[in-house]
């Protein structure tokens, strides 16, 4: 039976200390729920922290790598899917995830949130960027849930998963 995949997106270079801290905790929770973690797979920012969190409690981690080799892949990625497609791999992140969580905000993350909503995927948004919340609130509809902490993020993931299996 196919495993549940939760994708976590967030800034690479521009991640804040809070983004990193939240990502680590979200990664832990995802693994503790026996969900598979999917991320962008690089060795920095939210991608790295969320994978580190999942591995810290024995989870399984997928990384969808933009480069054409593993020289910049996070040490906390078990399974590296090497695409060689740069940011076009974001589309794969989205289609492969049952629910997506955006942790933090930046141009890459905004691009993925918007593309995920366009693909009618469920998206949980955890950010202190007020402008992005106003914007995505306006266009996101019922497939978007804006949350204020990691605990709410995981609850929102669970609620959305119940909808996907309904």
Residues making contact with its own copies (CB under 8 A): 1-3, 5, 36, 62, 64, 68-70, 73, 75, 77-88, 90-92, 95-96, 105-108, 110-112, 114-115, 117-119, 129, 131-132, 134-135, 137-139
- Given the complex with its own copies, which of 32 and 143 has the nearer CB atom? 143
Query: Residue 126 forms beta bridges with which residues?
Result: 103, 147
Helix (H, G, I), strand (E, B) or coil at 55: helix
| CA 87 – CA 35 distance, rounded (Å) | 25
| CA 38 – CA 45 distance, rounded (Å) | 14
- Given the complex with its own copies, which of 85 and 155 has the nearer CB atom? 85
Helix (H, G, I), strand (E, B) or coil at 142: helix
Q: At its nearest, how many Å lie between its own copies and the CB of residue 156?
A: 19
- Given the complex with its own copies, which of 98 and 150 has the nearer CB atom? 98
Q: At its nearest, how many Å lie between its own copies and the CB of residue 127?
A: 11
- Given the complex with its own copies, which of 29 and 83 has the nearer CB atom? 83
Q: At its nearest, how many Å lie between its own copies and the CB of residue 59?
A: 13
Query: Angle at the Cα of 112 (from 9 to 123), degrees rounded to 5?
Result: 70
Q: At its nearest, how many Å lie between its own copies and the CB of residue 151?
A: 26
Q: Residues for the chain: how many in total?
A: 166
Which of these, 34, 32, 52, lies nearest to 42 by C-alpha position? 52
- Given the complex with its own copies, which of 29 and 90 has the nearer CB atom? 90
Q: At its nearest, how many Å lie between its own copies and the CB of residue 87?
A: 5
Q: How far is CA 61 from CA 5, 31, 58, 72, 99, in A?
A: 10, 9, 9, 16, 15
């Amino acid at each position: 039976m196919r495993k549940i995949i939760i994708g976590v997106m967030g800034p690479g270079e521009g991640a804040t200390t809070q983004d990193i801290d939240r990502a680590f905790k979200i990664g832990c929770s995802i693994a503790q729920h026996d969900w598979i973690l999917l991320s962008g797979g690089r060795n920095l920012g939210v991608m790295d922290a969320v994978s580190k969190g999942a591995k810290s409690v024995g989870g399984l981690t997928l990384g969808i790598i933009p480069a054409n080799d593993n020289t910049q892949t996070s040490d906390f990625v078990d399974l590296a899917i090497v695409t060689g497609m740069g940011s076009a791999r974001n589309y794969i992140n989205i289609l492969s995830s049952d629910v997506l969580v955006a942790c933090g905000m930046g141009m890459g993350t905004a691009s993925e949130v918007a593309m995920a909503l366009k693909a009618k995927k469920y998206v949980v948004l955890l950010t202190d960027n007020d402008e992005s919340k106003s914007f995505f609130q306006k266009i996101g509809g019922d497939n978007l849930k804006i949350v204020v902490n990691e605990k709410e993020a995981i609850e929102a993931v669970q609620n959305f998963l119940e909808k996907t299996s309904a």
